[in-house]
Structure 1
């Protein structure tokens, strides 16, 4: 099992998925209530598993195992398709990685306080987080696979301890709370959307599994089922233990991952509990950061190769890490903002793009061995939802929808 590539791929998908999106959930769902949060989660999981399987369908027609999504987009939509795919992928991944670096730096800066030491400067924490974790990405997929397996075990142990401590404190009244504003459910959709944004590593997974459709499909189903279960239980714990009014008050004062740690510590009255949440949050960020940066390397490598630019490890490392690092250093409070706009781009790259690719693939290759169920009707329905999710951030910006977190 430990040497099984399908299992390893599923863990990479799960590790990429369980990251900043999960940690942002309590920050954005405090005013939504438990019931509507669960409905939103299950609905988006169904939608994004469907679009992930569309990539499996399209990759059956790839000319080479290591073809990136942009190469497939150029194959079916020409140069404009490549430009759109490359732009959306890189901006999405830069936004996600910036959010992860910012969140990781925030958690690392507060870590010394648990040992009675002074807080580490945020910029120093951000640089340490990026350099140390980025080295594993530079090694490649095998390096990420190895460390992900190790960190995933630690993440599960920390998560189990958090649940062991929090679930007995769940109060039914807290779970019955209704949304403070039903429009919050709509406003939160783009951020929750990123919670299942594993699609950025589809090219790497396809290459790693040698284009095996059955293994690819199984990796997606297993790799997304793990996060869904974790998200559902996480929501049960946070919404059940923390009363809506208290939780909203604390997070409004400090809408960061440190704020989440402090909220758990204050309401549970346990310093140990707060630090375990910090450890779990850090491990979740790290595994997600590794997967996303793997996607950045794949996207940049595909772009540089196409236009005959130097695509050695040094050039890819500089191009991959500098933009999100600069954002994190000079806009350290941009965690939620980065995730919100990442949700917009995620809707395009993870939903609208695979729908378009699947549509053209079915037209040109009617005899594919594997096709996702639902036919073209499902494609149209998913497309409509994707467009709505892309519009939501603009409706929030113009004041038509409420902001879920500041």
Structure 2
């Protein structure tokens, strides 16, 4: 029963995520999506890895160029301004931005279960995007000072584009590459999960798994491509924080401290009850605060 519940939650959560990337990509480049989908369906893991590696390298190159061009007018004093009241609203997007757990099974298979290589891949794969996020936030906050104090709802990226004509094409290239690599990761993770669920043989092309993975979100993205950010907020708050915040900590607690179960190996991740309580408590706090906010917004509509 528990496995069935988790299976349904996993699929329900990652379908909106795949829809996000399909919708945002198809908004600008529908034909390239079809090419990428066919690539995933027809190519081996080695080819897909090479393509993804090229895209990652292109992301770093375009990001570096973007930062160099956009940072010419940074006002460093703006980086000292704070607004901690707005920070909790960013947690769902931050949680979704750093989701990689769905790719870990594929990663472990490709690295043949080598624990040191898996750890290195996870640490570097988290540290590099974190550094990119921090640099980009510094550029945005330093280049467009005072837009938060103006009281108007402003898209800082759009304002940056309008102030510098060179930024626009670079942003488009970087956005497409970033979404493309995320798309590949989510599709590989979800198709691998569906293949295990359907007990299909490994190492073979699985058109059925790609159909189950891509068709529902493709239909959603064609019906409403504007739902991208709403789906991101939903998946980050109610999806990622439940599936990768509450459940893993609860399962670790059960395996480590239940009298009915014995861990087959010693824990490879440090942290006891305090750490697990912090993870579960933090995730639940964000979830319930978002539920309360959504209820208040619904009441305001009536």
Same fold (TM over 0.5): yes
Change in CA separation of 1:368 and 1:192 when aligned onto 2, cut-off 3 Å: same
Deviation per CA, 1:233-268: give whole Å up to 9, x if none.
Answer: 0101111111342895442xxxxxxx83x332113x
Q: Is residue 376 from structure 1 mapped to residue 273 from structure 2 by the alignment?
A: yes
Change in CA separation of 1:183 and 1:88 when aligned onto 2, cut-off 3 Å: farther
CA contact (8 A) 1:98 1:327 kept: yes
Change in CA separation of 1:362 and 1:215 when aligned onto 2, cut-off 3 Å: farther
Deviation per CA, 1:315-364: give whole Å up to 9, x if none.
Answer: 11211111111111111111111101111210112222221332233354
Corresponding residue for 1:133?
36
Paired residues in the alignment total: 289
Cα distance in 1 between the residues matched to 2:264 and 2:222: 51
Corresponding residue for 2:16?
95
Cα distance in 1 between the residues matched to 2:247 and 2:197: 17
Mapping of residues 135-150 of structure 1, within 5 Å: 135-138=38-41, 139-150=43-54
Q: Which runs of 5+ in 2 are unaligned?
A: none
Q: How far is the alpha carbon of 1:396 from its aligned partner?
A: 2.7
Mapping of residues 295-374 of structure 1, within 5 Å: 295-305=189-199, 313-343=206-236, 344-363=238-257, 364-366=261-263, 368-374=265-271
Corresponding residue for 1:201?
103
Q: Is residue 245 from structure 1 mapped to residue 147 from structure 2 by the alignment?
A: yes
Corresponding residue for 1:185?
87
Q: Is residue 399 from structure 1 mapped to residue 293 from structure 2 by the alignment?
A: no
CA contact (8 A) 2:69 2:166 kept: no
Change in CA separation of 1:81 and 1:141 when aligned onto 2, cut-off 3 Å: farther
Q: Which 4+ residue blocks in structure 1 deviate beyond 4 angstroms?
A: none
Cα distance in 1 between the residues matched to 2:110 and 2:243: 21
SS at structure 2 position matched to 1:305: coil
Change in CA separation of 1:282 and 1:84 when aligned onto 2, cut-off 3 Å: same
Deviation per CA, 1:259-302: give whole Å up to 9, x if none.
Answer: 83x332113xx222111011111110100110011111012112
Cα distance in 1 between the residues matched to 2:196 and 2:186: 15
TM-score (ref. length: structure 1): 0.66
TM-score (ref. length: structure 2): 0.87
Corresponding residue for 1:9?
none
Q: How far is the alpha carbon of 1:140 from its aligned partner?
A: 4.9
Corresponding residue for 2:138?
236
Q: How far is the alpha carbon of 1:397 from its aligned partner?
A: 1.4
Say which is worse superposed, 138-147 or 206-215, in terms of deviation.
138-147
CA contact (8 A) 1:88 1:348 kept: no
